[in-house]
Homo-oligomer: A and B are copies of this chain.
Amino acid sequence: MKNDKSEILLPHQIAQGQSVRLSEMSTDGRDYCSNRKQAEEEFRELRDELIEWQRRMYAEGSQKLLIVLQAMDAGGKDGTIRKVFRGVNPQGVRVTSFKAPTSVELAHDFLWRVHQVSPATGIIGVFNRSHYEDVLIVRVRQLVPESVWRPRFKRINEFEKLLHESGTAILKFYLHVSFDEQGKRLRERAKIPEKHWKYSAEDFDKRQNWDKYMTAYEEVIKRCTTEHAAWHVIPADRKWYRNLAISRAIIAKLREMNPQFPRLPEGFRLPNGF
């Protein structure tokens, strides 16, 4: 891999214990990148590199990578998956979209359904929404009392540590869009026929609670950024920058994991007659 050794800067990665004020954090990434053409070129190169790392990881069959995507509605989770993973062998990528829990899921603890689909060896698991909904929407809508959701921060950190200790690298991305950009995208869903299927009147209700969601996200990002599982707050108003920033973080992690094609032992011989 040609770029193995080069350093990738990750300005959006949160440090352990760091407090964040989302309203003060960039949603457009202008301070980080302004050359769209150059960004798109780098993104395509990183995507080719991702395809190659994924092949190695699958062949190696010992490490796992979990990518968690969270965002407000229309924040770009689906688009991120489509663009960032374009061309990657679907045999080695497992995307799980978490919807409102079913009655069977609600009859278990909140990590039960998540644990079942955590990635196996050689696999990149992508969570489109995740266990974090249980301290986000659940908190804002008061679906359970604080005495129930507050201890979940600890349970989440413990769960992610368990995954980490069994060989799972973890990357968590909050796609940070502005209130205005969200409004624009929600309107587009009603206006562009190919986007109609994404339209939901409910999204406009949730939008009323924007500030409450931001507060909930801020606490998630602060409390659940651990040494082995940091949050990245990705400026996501401009999709081309969002794609680049996420790809950089994924590639930086894969270079660190550095999966290799396994080799046959020295002196190996084919069976007789071959």
Contact indicator A190/B88 (Cβ below 8 Å): no
* B contact residues around A88 at 8 Å (CB): 90
* B contact residues around A59 at 8 Å (CB): 194, 197-198
Task: Known contacts A89-B82, A90-B95, A94-B94; decide if A190 and B268 are in contact (CB<8 Å).
Answer: yes
A264 near B: Cβ within 8 Å?
Answer: yes
Q: Categorize the interface residue count of chain A.
A: 35 or more
A61 near B: Cβ within 8 Å?
Answer: yes
* B contact residues around A30 at 8 Å (CB): none
A9 near B: Cβ within 8 Å?
Answer: no
A258 near B: Cβ within 8 Å?
Answer: no
Contact with B along A79-93 (1 / 0, CB 8 A): 001100111111101
Q: How many copies does the complex hold?
A: 2
Contact indicator A196/B90 (Cβ below 8 Å): no
Contact with B along A81-122 (1 / 0, CB 8 A): 110011111110111010000000000000000000000000
User: Which residue of A82, A94, A95 has the most chain B CB atoms within 10 A of its CB atom?
Assistant: A82
A2 near B: Cβ within 8 Å?
Answer: no
A123 to chain B, nearest CB (A): 10
A95 to B263 CA separation, bound complex (whole angstroms): 26
Task: Known contacts A196-B261, A263-B193; decide if A91 and B87 are in contact (CB<8 Å).
Answer: no
What 12 new A-B contacts, CB under 8 Å, besides A86-B89, A90-B94, A90-B126?
A59-B198, A81-B89, A90-B90, A90-B93, A91-B97, A187-B274, A190-B264, A190-B270, A193-B261, A194-B261, A196-B261, A204-B274
Q: List 8 A-B contacts (CB under 8 A).
A: A60-B197, A61-B197, A91-B97, A183-B274, A187-B270, A190-B274, A197-B261, A199-B264
